[in-house]
Amino acid sequence: MYIDVDYNPTPADTFFISVGLSDKEALSFDYTTKGHRIIKQILVERKKAGVQNLDKNKLSGGWDVIELKDGKFLRRYHVDWVDKGKIDEVNDEVWRTVWSKSISEEIKNKLLYWSQLISDNYEKLDEFQEKMKEFEVYIATLVKKFTAEKLTEGEEKYLATITDDKMMVVKPFNPKGLEIADQIIKEIKSVEPGLEILLLGSLPLKIAGQEDIDISAFCVKSEQPKHIDNFKKLFGEPTRIGKNSIGWDFKKEGFDISVWLTDPTVETTKAQVEVFNLLKNDPNLLKEYERIKVEAKDLPYKEYQRRKYEFYHKILKGKDS
């Protein structure tokens, strides 16, 4: 485990400890003048190394950092920092804060102790092997606590297809979307009266969203070939073909439309419908879901999608507890 600890020897009463979750994500424990919080950050840009990337006249600060690997001292290095709110420019890297939680007094006290111990003794940490093991175990516990539910393989694969430059757009609920959805559903029922059709997503929940319309027509996979021609007559050739579903994407009156012929017996579809029903029937969950959307405005779409998946897992787990 790689851990960066800002150099803050005794009697400093501040600390900043960062743990790499991947090469582009970090979980940090910040008890500084900027805030008292736990933050998740994503790397949005890595500039060319060895080049003067920061304007020295615009620096917000600078300090030394102690880098640890598996509880052992690797190096002490200097960083320069430009504070841009949710954006932090640190040497040749640009990091964006994607969520923030308050840090408890208990965590603050423990991490302050470790920060001082490491800063005071970084050149002789071999003398503190047991203490460093305790530190790593504690950090690992915090990482597990504050990083979200593990995503499925399919969810991770989908996230990998989203480009880093795609940003989240959030718009207020627009009732016009319900009119358009109702019209499309009537068109489907006119040629496929026997299929169950459900409008999903934020639109029927009447909350903020992306002005998209998500319509699912349910049909087991083995029967889908019998129905696909009628969908082609309405929407043309499919734009997406999945393992258990066939999809058509198009625009209408400014809305992004997705129509799916999908198997209701597969776990992903059942979970999607179950989450929708949980949100529809629980105002508190619905309010939290809308907050996730609103707070993700102008963030990378990939980060929003990850948060949404994590929220889905959380509420499904809560249902069974």
pLDDT in tens, 149-205: 678 888 888 898 999 889 999 999 999 999 999 999 999 999 999 999 999 999 999
Give the pLDDT confidence score for residue 75 in this predicted structure: 96
Closest CA to 208 of 177, 250, 162, 163: 177
Which stretch of DSSP H or E encloses residue 88?
strand 87-90
**Rounded Cα distance, 231 and 188, in Å:** 7
Residues 205 and 187 sit within 8 Å (Cβ to Cβ): no
User: For residue 226, what is the enclosing H or E element?
Assistant: none
Q: Where are the beta strands (DSSP E) in 113-227?
A: 196-200, 212-218
In this predicted structure, what is the pLDDT of residue 190?
97
| Sites in the chain below the pLDDT cut of 50 | 321
Return d(Cα 249, Cα 264) in angstroms, integer.
Answer: 20
Give me the phi and psi of 203, to 5 degrees please: -60, -55
pTM score over 0.85 = no
At 321 the pLDDT is: 45
Could you read off the pLDDT of 76-106 as tens digits, one per residue?
Answer: 999 999 999 888 999 989 998 877 889 999 9
Q: What pLDDT shows up at residue 149?
A: 63
- The string of DSSP letters for 108-125 reads HHHHHHHHHHHHHHGGGG
What are 62's two structure tokens? 């600078």
What residue spans define the domains of the chain? 2-146, 169-295
**The CATH classification of domain 169-295, taken from the options 2.40.30.10, 2.60.120.620, 3.30.460.10, 3.50.50.60:** 3.30.460.10
Cα 22 from Cα 25, distance rounded (Å): 5
